[in-house]
């Protein structure tokens, strides 16, 4: 039983070493790709954003009765 535990522990350490070595190797490959990218890319020009209508302009356009008529509401008295 003691021999089995030692073999298991040695196998676990070996797998850990291989895993970390592979991760370091992947990191080195990634660093090479990042360094080959261009320094900057020019931004595409887009039109200026449209000016949004103020809600007060819309609210002042109709009175309460006209708004109710548009959505077919009736006022209770």
CA distance 43 to 40: 9
Would you kindly state where each structural domain of the chain is located, as residue ranges? Answer: 1-37
Mean pLDDT of 46-74: 75
Sorting pLDDT into bands at 50, 70 and 90, what band is 68? confident
What is the structure's pLDDT at 44? Answer: 76
CA distance 63 to 21: 75
Q: What is the mean pLDDT of the chain?
A: 75
CA distance 61 to 5: 85
Mean pLDDT of 15-34: 70
30 or 50, higher pLDDT: 50
């Amino acid at each position: 039983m003691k021999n089995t535990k030692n073999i298991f522990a040695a196998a676990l350490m070996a797998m850990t070493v291989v895993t970390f070595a592979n991760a370091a190797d992947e990191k080195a490959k990634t660093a090479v790709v990042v360094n080959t990218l261009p320094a900057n890319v020019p931004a595409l020009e887009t039109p200026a954003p449209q000016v949004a209508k103020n809600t007060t302009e819309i609210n002042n356009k109709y009175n309460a009765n006209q708004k109710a008529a548009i959505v077919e509401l009736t006022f209770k008295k």
